[in-house]
């Protein structure tokens, strides 16, 4: 039995590797997408353009502006001299933020009074605006602390000290890159499996399989084995790039990580074979794969938290294997989560994989005869 399955698997490998388009789909897009996502998928802002309207000529206001100059997140693009220049600067998007310092800023601080500071931010992109405001508040908070210390004043009675666990540098890339491991592994595995049976039907070789001694379950296993090997290879390559190129820490155990990879691949292969069993042509298989991939990625928690979704949508995510795989990936990479704390996502992925493979086998058997 296993000799027949391995023979079919070798035939599948040769078919994939001999086809130039298949080789390109398997190897080139994942590498390109990994680099693009790895650098583009980040919430961190660098070199935010800002303008300064300083009506105060004192040294204190210059110290505040210098604090913004010294921050790597900001880059000054203009010095304004009148009120009428503020609106066009924001409207034309030459600057995301304008800092307006009143004429009595230095005098008020030197006399012991509080001094207002106006920060005008382009709010068209609410996420970016909120990040810019947070960065500005952090700089002003640091300026206030330095001012109190230099003037010999009393520090505020309560001070918040923030300590970030699992991602001390607050690098959003550390959050996204482990998710890209799941995204690209799902993409390649689904494409390879969704096209496997459809390719046989389209090329007219499906009937040849029917006259072989192979049973339907053996044909299905022979189709699944190459996808599993390719998926393992893709996942390993992406993990290596994540660790050694993007320097994302891998704090957990490799056995725990690869347990999640294996179970995720089984569920993805089962879903891909379901699509392939229903498809008559490769075009239908490709469309079916993308019909599943887009909602699977959106509903996985890759970019937006599942807890923020409506209750009905949250219930739908329970059928998505990538939801559980992202929990494993981010837990193992960033938190060093041990095996026993990931039993729930492991069981969920195993259940989805078993059901998907059973349905794929039933569909394959019924459409075969």
Q: What is the pLDDT of residues 37-58, one digit of tens each?
A: 667 666 667 888 999 999 988 8
CA-based angle 338:340:342, to the nearest 5?
80
Confidence (pLDDT) at 339: 94
Give the residue with greater pLDDT, 338 vs 287. 338
For residue 271, pLDDT beyond 70: yes
Long-range contacts of 317-321 (CB under 8 A, 24+ apart): 318/348, 319/352, 320/295, 320/296, 321/264, 321/267, 321/268, 321/271, 321/296, 321/348, 321/349, 321/352, 321/353
The Cα 305–Cα 294 span in angstroms is 16
For residue 155, pLDDT beyond 80: no
The Cα 140–Cα 117 span in angstroms is 9
Q: Which of 129-133, 168-172, 180-184, 350-354 tops mean pLDDT?
A: 350-354
Per DSSP, helices labelled H in the chain are 2-18, 20-40, 59-69, 86-91, 105-110, 126-150, 172-203, 206-210, 216-244, 254-278, 282-298, 311-317, 321-330, 343-368
The Cα 276–Cα 206 span in angstroms is 13
φ and ψ of 3, to 5 deg: -65, -40
Kindly provide the b/e burial profile for residues 106-122, where b requires at least 16 CB atoms within 10 angstroms of the residue's own CB.
bebbeeeeebeeeebbb
CA-based angle 25:287:193, to the nearest 5?
55
Mean pLDDT computed over every residue of the chain: 83
For residue 103, pLDDT beyond 80: yes
Confidence (pLDDT) at 221: 79
What domains appear along the chain, each with residue ranges and CATH number? Answer: 2-41+171-368 (no CATH), 48-150 (3.40.1710.10)
Confidence band (pLDDT; 50, 70, 90) for 161? low
Cβ atoms of 71 and 140 closer than 8 Å: no
How confident is the model over 168-172, as a mean pLDDT?
Answer: 76
How confident is the model over 343-363, as a mean pLDDT?
Answer: 92
Confidence (pLDDT) at 153: 66
**Residue 365 CB neighbours (<10 A):** 15
| pTM for the predicted model, two decimal places | 0.76
Confidence (pLDDT) at 1: 65
Confidence band (pLDDT; 50, 70, 90) for 100? very high
Distance of CA 281 to the CA centre of its chain: 31
φ and ψ of 103, to 5 deg: -70, -20
Confidence band (pLDDT; 50, 70, 90) for 159? low
Confidence (pLDDT) at 112: 78
DSSP string, 207-266: HHHHTSS--HHHHHHHHHHHHHHHHHHHHHHHHHHHHHTS-----S-HHHHHHHHHHHHH
Residue 152, H or E segment = none
Instruction: Express as a percent the part of the chain with pLDDT over 90.
Output: 28
Q: Look at 61-75, 214-228, 299-313, 346-360 and tell me which has the smallest mean pLDDT.
A: 214-228
Give the residue with greater pLDDT, 19 vs 292. 292
The Cα 325–Cα 176 span in angstroms is 13
Instruction: Express as a percent the part of the chain with pLDDT over 70.
Output: 82
Helices 20-40 & 172-203, crossing angle to 10 degrees? 160
Q: Any idea which residue has 């997140």 for tokens?
A: 73
Cβ atoms of 285 and 195 closer than 8 Å: yes
Confidence (pLDDT) at 333: 93
Q: Is the dihedral of CA 93, 97, 101, 102 positive or negative?
A: positive
Cβ atoms of 90 and 103 closer than 8 Å: no
Residue 76, H or E segment = strand 74-80
Cβ atoms of 188 and 30 closer than 8 Å: yes
Count the alpha carbons within 13 Å of 348 in the hemisphere toward its beta carbon: 16
């Amino acid at each position: 039995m296993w000799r027949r399955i391995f023979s079919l698997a070798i035939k599948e490998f040769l078919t994939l590797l001999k086809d130039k388009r298949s080789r390109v789909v398997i190897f080139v897009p994942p590498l390109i997408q990994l680099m693009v996502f790895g650098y583009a998928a980040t919430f961190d802002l660098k070199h935010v353009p800002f303008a300064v309207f300083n009506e105060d000529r004192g040294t204190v206001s210059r110290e505040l502006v210098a604090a913004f100059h010294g921050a790597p997140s900001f880059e000054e693009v203009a010095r304004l001299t009148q009120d009428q220049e503020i609106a066009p600067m924001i409207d034309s998007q030459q600057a995301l933020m304008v800092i307006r310092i009143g004429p009595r800023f230095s005098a008020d601080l030197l006399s012991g009074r509080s001094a207002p500071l106006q920060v005008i931010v382009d709010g068209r992109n609410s996420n970016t605006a909120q990040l810019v405001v947070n960065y500005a508040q952090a700089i002003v908070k640091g300026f206030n602390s330095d001012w109190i210390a230099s003037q010999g004043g009393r520090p505020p009675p309560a001070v918040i000290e923030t300590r970030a666990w699992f991602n001390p540098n607050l690098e959003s890339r550390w959050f996204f890159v482990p998710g890209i491991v799941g995204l690209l592994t799902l993409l390649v595995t689904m494409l390879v499996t969704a096209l496997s049976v459809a390719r046989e039907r389209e090329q007219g070789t499906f009937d040849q399989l029917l006259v072989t001694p192979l049973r339907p379950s053996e044909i299905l296993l022979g189709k699944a084995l190459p996808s599993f090997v390719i998926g393992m290879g893709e996942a390993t390559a992406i993990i290596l790039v994540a660790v050694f190129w993007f320097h994302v820490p891998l704090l957990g155990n490799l056995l725990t990580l690869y347990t999640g990879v294996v179970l995720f691949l089984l569920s993805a292969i089962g879903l891909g074979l379901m699509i392939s069993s229903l498809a008559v042509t490769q075009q239908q298989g490709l469309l079916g794969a993308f019909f599943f991939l887009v909602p699977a990625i959106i509903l996985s928690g890759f970019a937006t938290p599942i807890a923020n979704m409506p209750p009905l949508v949250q219930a739908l995510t329970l059928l998505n294997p990538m939801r559980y795989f992202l929990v494993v990936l981010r837990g193992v990479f960033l938190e060093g989560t041990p095996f026993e704390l990931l039993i729930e996502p492991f069981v969920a992925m195993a259940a989805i994989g078993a059901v998907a493979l059973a349905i794929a086998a039933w569909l394959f058997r019924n459409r075969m005869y």
